[in-house]
Amino acid sequence: MTPRVLVVGGGFAGWQVVKHLQGKGFEVVLLDRQPHHVFIPLLYQVAIGLMPPQVVARPLAKLCAPHTTFVQDPVTAIDLAHQQVHTTTQRLAYDFLVLAAGSVVRSPPAGTFGLQTLEQALALRDRLEQTPHGGTWVVVGGGATGVEMAGALAEWSRWHAQSLRILLVQSRDRLLPDLPAPLATATIRHLQRLGVELRLGTTVQVADPHTAILNGDRLPCTGIIWTAGLVGTPLAYTPAVETVFKQRLAVRPTLQLSDWDNVYAIGDLAAAKVRDRSAYLTGVAPEALQQGVHVARNLQRHRRGLVPQPFTYWDKGRLAVIGGYGAIGKIGPVSLTGFGPWLLWFAVHGWYLPGFANRAKALGQWLWVYLLRRKP
Ligand SMILES: Cc1cc2nc3c(=O)[nH]c(=O)nc-3n(C[C@H](O)[C@H](O)[C@H](O)COP(=O)(O)OP(=O)(O)OC[C@H]3O[C@@H](n4cnc5c(N)ncnc54)[C@H](O)[C@@H]3O)c2cc1C
> From ligand 1's centre to the CA of 40, what distance in Å?
6
The reported pLDDT for the residue numbered 131 is 81
| Single-letter amino acid, residue 254 | T
- Pinpoint the residues of the chain covered by CATH 3.50.50.60: 4-105+230-303, 109-227
Which ligand 1 atom lies nearest to the CA of residue 268? 26
Question: Into which CATH architecture does domain 109-227 fall?
Answer: 3-Layer(bba) Sandwich (3.50)
Which ligand 1 atom lies nearest to the CA of residue 320? 8
300: Cβ contacts below 8 Å, ≥ 6 apart: 21, 24
> From ligand 1's centre to the CA of 372, what distance in Å?
32
Which ligand 1 atom lies nearest to the CA of residue 117? 47
171: Cβ contacts below 8 Å, ≥ 6 apart: 201, 202, 203, 204, 228
The reported pLDDT for the residue numbered 161 is 86
Which ligand 1 atom lies nearest to the CA of residue 349? 8
User: Domain 4-105+230-303 falls in which CATH fold?
Assistant: FAD/NAD(P)-binding domain (3.50.50)
The reported pLDDT for the residue numbered 277 is 63
How far is the C-alpha of 297 from the C-alpha of 342, rounded, in Å? 34
The reported pLDDT for the residue numbered 324 is 85
The reported pLDDT for the residue numbered 245 is 92
**Which protein residue's CA is at the shortest distance from atom 50 of ligand 1?**
41
When the pLDDT of each residue in the chain is averaged and rounded to a whole number, the result is: 95
| Single-letter amino acid, residue 154 | A
**Which protein residue's CA is at the shortest distance from atom 4 of ligand 1?**
41
Given a cut of 70, whether residue 132 has pLDDT beyond it is: no
Tell me the mean pLDDT in the region 295-299: 98
> From ligand 1's centre to the CA of 12, what distance in Å?
7
> From ligand 1's centre to the CA of 229, what distance in Å?
14
Write out pLDDT tens, residues 50-91: 999 999 999 999 999 998 999 999 999 999 999 999 999 999
Give the pTM: 0.96
How far is the C-alpha of 24 from the C-alpha of 135, rounded, in Å? 54
> From ligand 1's centre to the CA of 93, what distance in Å?
25
Which ligand 1 atom lies nearest to the CA of residue 284? 19
